[in-house]
Amino acid sequence: MSAQKNTPHVVAFAFPFGSHPTPLLHLIQRLATASPGTHFSYFNTTRSNQRVLSKANLHVYNNVKAYDVDDGAPDGHVFSGNPMEAIEMFIKATPENFRKRLEDVVGETGMKATCLLTDAFLWFSVEMAEEMGIPWVAFWTSGPTPVSLHMYTDLIHSKFKENGNTKDQDQTLDFLPGMSAIRVSDLPQELLHLDRPFSRLLYDMSLALPRAAALVLNSFAGIEPIIEDDLKLKLQKVLNVGPFSSLTSPTPPSDDQGGCLSWLSNQAPASVAYLSFGTMLTPPPPELVALAEALEEKQIPYLWSFRDNSKRHLLEGFSERTKSTGKIVQWAPQLQVLAHSSVGVFITHCGWNSVMESITGRVPMICRPFFGDQMINRRLVEDVWGIGVGVEGGAFTKSGTVAALDLVLTKEGKKMREHIGKLGESASRAVAENGSSTENFKSLVGIVVSSHSV
């Protein structure tokens, strides 16, 4: 497409941490395919773009262009390793880094922005969009429950916080629609303590969301019906357009340098434990050791996605002793791994993308959440959907992990597999022709494309 001055121009801003930028880019790629007459600009920090774009096949799209924005870190800055440091520097650089880059791009291309489609965290986009007289579409990369909880932050504080402290951790949030299974202990720290820049960002987001033309989620209708209905009352439009993992196009290129898929093909059906803790974390050393001991004791074939080289030595003896039954790789093609018939259980931190991918692959989970929405996701997986189990005591011990493996791979596993099979079918129906996510996606295209006439 040759970009013209009056070409509709959708501008996407990514939150450059964890897996956030990737599903936003996938959404942009789907929109670019659906609306070839629209131009899409994807803004992300240089560091994050290097990671994301190498796997993105962007050259296939002649109406998508990626741009680097400043991440707020001074030149030559050496990060401490605490992810919050980079996040806070980035927050400090917003919104000016995006505003400045957008002005440059509009100046260079002559194409004014006609719609801002940004990570919901970047709530200031609504102010930029309103200044430009164009719609803001917010993309929430997790499920409906966490975003709904953020919208009840003030009410939750008034119920549960006394002198800055949270009362009984076991209390449920049954005074909120659809939240009777959620407990105080499941709430993200950022929701309970509003004193940090990241917490403020999320609080401000909850205030800004009603001004969004639409909230888009990588989820599917019916998964949390009461919450979805409640969100619809508060927001202009709620569009579940996922799960992305159930979609066949655009297929992320299979990145299988470790040979995971051929290894899986030599394993018995539903026998392998797949372990991965997402893009941001590694369990602490005693938990890694406990996990390895449990796998070894049970002689369970395993595939472990493990990137933290500083902790790799903890698994050395274990990986040597179990090399005939297990495999440790730096990166696994997780979507295809979870879709492989040999995988019987997913040991996960309950990041939302992992949960969606497990549902798509129909693989029950053993959950060890760490932060943010992960405790909520665990609660849904175990207590609401019955498709997995949390580890006893909330952290990996050898006996707790053995018990969880026994449960999922033998006793209760059958029921979990039935439940996840049904959810997986609903997910497939949602993204099929005329399915709810497909129809929602068409509405999204309508919002994004018609916005040039605003």
| Contact region with ligand U2F (CB under 6 A), list: 106-114, 115-123, 350-358, 401-409 | 350-358
| Contact region with ligand U2F (CB under 6 A), list: 118-126, 198-206, 232-240, 370-378 | 370-378
Check whether the bond before 250 is cis (ω within 30° of 0). Answer: yes
- To the nearest whole angstrom, how small is the minimum distance from the Cβ of residue 290 to ligand U2F? 21
351 lies in the binding site for ligand U2F (CB under 6 A)? yes
Task: Report the C-alpha gap between 55 and 333 in whole angstroms.
Answer: 11
Distance between start and end Cα atoms, the chain:
22
Q: Annotated catalytic, 39?
A: no
- To the nearest whole angstrom, how small is the minimum distance from the Cβ of residue 334 to ligand U2F? 3
Instruction: Out of 72, 242, 278, 424, name the contact with ligand U2F by CB under 6 A.
Output: 278
Instruction: Out of 357, 360, 401, 440, name the contact with ligand U2F by CB under 6 A.
Output: 357
Instruction: Out of 135, 178, 344, 372, name the contact with ligand U2F by CB under 6 A.
Output: 372
Q: Which tokens is 260 given?
A: 């995971």
Q: Which tokens is 103 given?
A: 């002005």
Residue 43 corresponds to which amino acid? F
Q: Annotated catalytic, 170?
A: no
Maximal CA-CA distance, the chain: 65
| Contact yes or no for 48/244 (Cβ under 8 A) | no
Instruction: Out of 271, 279, 341, 428, name the contact with ligand U2F by CB under 6 A.
Output: 279
Q: Which tokens is 178 given?
A: 């659809």
142 lies in the binding site for ligand U2F (CB under 6 A)? yes
- To the nearest whole angstrom, how small is the minimum distance from the Cβ of residue 286 to ligand U2F? 21
Q: Which tokens is 387 given?
A: 């498709």
| Contact yes or no for 372/267 (Cβ under 8 A) | no
- To the nearest whole angstrom, how small is the minimum distance from the Cβ of residue 307 to ligand U2F? 7
- To the nearest whole angstrom, how small is the minimum distance from the Cβ of residue 297 to ligand U2F? 25
42 lies in the binding site for ligand U2F (CB under 6 A)? no
19 lies in the binding site for ligand U2F (CB under 6 A)? yes
CB-based contacts of 191, cutoff 8 Å, min separation 6:
149, 150, 153, 156, 199, 202
| Contact yes or no for 314/241 (Cβ under 8 A) | no
Residues that bind ligand U2F (CB under 6 A): 18-20, 141-142, 276, 278-280, 305, 331-332, 334-335, 351-354, 357, 372-374
